[in-house]
Amino acid sequence: MEGPLRRPLDVAGSESETAKDGFPEIAMSSFFASRHMPCADCGASVAAEERDEHTCDPERVLEFRLFQLRDGVAGFDTDLRGYLDSPEGRFEQWLAERDRPSS
Amino acid sequence: MADAKQIVRRLIEEPWTGNMHVIDELIGPGYIGFDPSAPEPIRGPAGAKTQIQQYIDGFPDGRITVDDQIAEGDKVASRWTARGTQTGEVAGIAPTGKGVTVSGITISRLDNGMVVEEWTTWDTLGMLVQLGAVPAPTQA
Ligand SMILES: [Zn+2]
């Protein structure tokens, strides 16, 4: 199947507005509750009975955030090249070159 | 002949540790499998590989652990837990980086040391809830 129906559903962070104590509010509902839920801060799968004791591993928090930002990170070089080629970017380069202290 | 429980355990756990050959080794050519996430019955070793591979692609670090097994006659019932981080697309859901834990039960029928029929029920809704793909219900 082609078209928008085949586009992956982007749900990353979609529950953040309802997050409570680091876990999405969806976990509080009785019918749709899942015993395990991912921590909203680090993404780790945490069982309901371990939620109070859960502390985020700082390394995992960093990995999780970088994963969420992966498209931006992957596109950084392209965006930078595009900016440097734009009139504004070219002017900034010219200005930086002009103002560089002579050695 | 290898123990029926051991055959089924290997078939459930080993594809997730990189051994897809276990499917050719232990699934019979006339295999038919039923899974709530598959719209049609899963047929033969090739069908089983396709079914498993889509979840391995979604959860490349995933692992399944068989927690308990009961054997009677030519059937083995296995209760299992799957854990993994969704770094690939799965069920149309873009990668979230979230950790997911789901459980399931598989009943396997064996013939001559190979699995020929399987009925699996697993927590598909739990996976969707954990990934945030099911809208959060409003609280009363
Ligand atoms: Zn955490």
Question: Does residue B75 lie in a domain region?
Answer: yes
Question: Does residue A78 lie in a domain region?
Answer: yes
Domain extent for A70: 56-103
Question: Does residue A77 lie in a domain region?
Answer: yes
Question: Does residue B34 lie in a domain region?
Answer: yes
Which residues does A30 contact at the CB level (< 8 Å), separation at least 6?
none
Domain count, chain B: 1
Does residue A40 belong to the interface with chain B, where contact is any CB pair within 8 Å? no
Question: Does residue B138 lie in a domain region?
Answer: no
Question: Does residue B137 lie in a domain region?
Answer: no
pLDDT tens-digit map of B22-35:
999 999 999 999 99
pLDDT tens-digit map of B69-120:
999 999 999 999 999 999 999 989 999 999 999 999 999 999 999 999 999 9
- Count the Cβ atoms, other than its own, within 10 Å of residue B102: 23
Inter-chain touch A36–B95, beta carbons under 8 Å:
no
Best to test chain B binding among A36, A39, A56, A69 (most B CBs inside 10 Å): A36
Question: Does residue A36 lie in a domain region?
Answer: no
Task: Using alpha carbons, select from B58, B135, B90, B130 the residue that is nearest to residue A48.
Answer: B130
pLDDT bracket for residue A32 (50, 70, 90)? low
Q: Quote the pLDDT of residue B8.
A: 98
The Cα B52–Cα B34 span in angstroms is 13
User: How would you class B82 by CB atoms within 10 Å of its CB: exposed for 0-12, middle for 13-18, buried for 19 or more?
Assistant: buried
Does residue A31 belong to the interface with chain B, where contact is any CB pair within 8 Å? yes
The CATH code of the domain that includes B18 is: 3.10.450.50
Domain extent for B122: 4-130
Q: Which residue has the higher pLDDT, A25 or B38?
A: B38
Contact B105, B78 (CB under 8 A): yes
- Give the predicted TM-score (pTM) of the model: 0.77
The residue with tokens 């002579």 is: A102
Question: Does residue B25 lie in a domain region?
Answer: yes
Which residues does B22 contact at the CB level (< 8 Å), separation at least 6?
B10, B11, B14, B15
Inter-chain touch B137–A64, beta carbons under 8 Å:
no
Question: How many Å lie between the alpha carbon of A53 and the closest alpha carbon of chain B?
Answer: 17
Question: Does residue B100 lie in a domain region?
Answer: yes
Domain count, chain A: 1
CB pairs under 8 A between A and B: 88
Best to test chain B binding among A20, A25, A26, A69 (most B CBs inside 10 Å): A26
Interface ipTM: 0.81
Question: Does residue B136 lie in a domain region?
Answer: no
Q: Degrees (nearest 5) of the Cα angle B87, B54, B110?
A: 130
